[in-house]
Amino acid sequence: MLQHQITEKIKNTLRMPARSLASLWHYGLHLSILVLILINYSPSQLEIHPVLLRNLLSGTQGSYKPLGAELAPFKAILPQKGVITFLMDKPRYGDKELTEFFLSVQNFLCPVILNSEPVEPHGIIYCTNDDIANARLSETGYQMVAKQSAGKGIMIRKRRT
**In a structure prediction context, what are the per-residue pLDDT tens digits for the chain, which is 161 residues long?**
666 676 776 666 655 555 666 777 778 888 888 888 888 877 767 677 777 777 777 877 766 677 777 788 888 888 888 899 988 887 666 678 888 888 888 888 888 888 888 888 889 998 888 899 899 888 888 988 888 888 888 898 887 65
Tell me if 121 is assigned to some domain. Answer: yes
Report the 10 Å Cβ neighbour count for 98.
Answer: 16
Contact in structure between 87 and 152 (CB atoms under 8 Å): no
What CA–CA distance (Å, rounded) separates 78 from 111? 11
Tell me if 17 is assigned to some domain. Answer: no
Q: Which domain holds residue 127?
A: 69-157
Tell me if 76 is assigned to some domain. Answer: yes
pTM given for the model: 0.57
